[in-house]
Amino acid sequence: MHRTPTKSRAAALMFVFALGCGLSLATEARSSKTPDAYQELLKESLEKKFGLTFYVNGATVPGVVTKIGDDGYVEVRNQEHGRIIIRMDRVDALAH
């Protein structure tokens, strides 16, 4: 049974729409507040001055937390850079 071009286009549009909705929901879920486990590590690093490794979009950024921003960022420093600003919605993982 052959589909008419109109049905094929409608099916393709529905697929693209569903995919777009899924990506939108995933982005919205990811951009929500910083997970509690992250907050614990960030606060501990700030208070005790120990280093963390931030995994950001495939890159690793080592550093000690110097400031935790209210609007979803953290400021760190390391031996190479005195000031690094990291958006927490871009962080994939943290390691201590």
Phi, psi of 86 (to 5 degrees): -120, 125
Longest dimension (CA), the chain: 69
The DSSP-derived string for 34-86 is PPHHHHHHHHHHHHH--EEEEEETTEEEEEEEEEE-TTSEEEEE-SS-S-EEE
Do both 22 and 60 map to the same domain?
Answer: no
Q: How far apart are CA 75 and CA 77, in angstroms?
A: 7
In the prediction, which pLDDT does 29 show? 47
In the prediction, which pLDDT does 44 show? 95
Q: Is the entire prediction scored with pTM above 0.75?
A: no
Question: What's the domain range around 74?
Answer: 36-95
Do both 24 and 61 map to the same domain?
Answer: no
Confidence of residue 23 (pLDDT cuts 50, 70, 90): very low
Q: How far apart are CA 48 and CA 91, in angstroms?
A: 21
What digits encode the pLDDT tens for the residues 26-82? Answer: 444 444 567 788 999 999 999 999 999 999 999 999 999 999 998 899 999 999 999
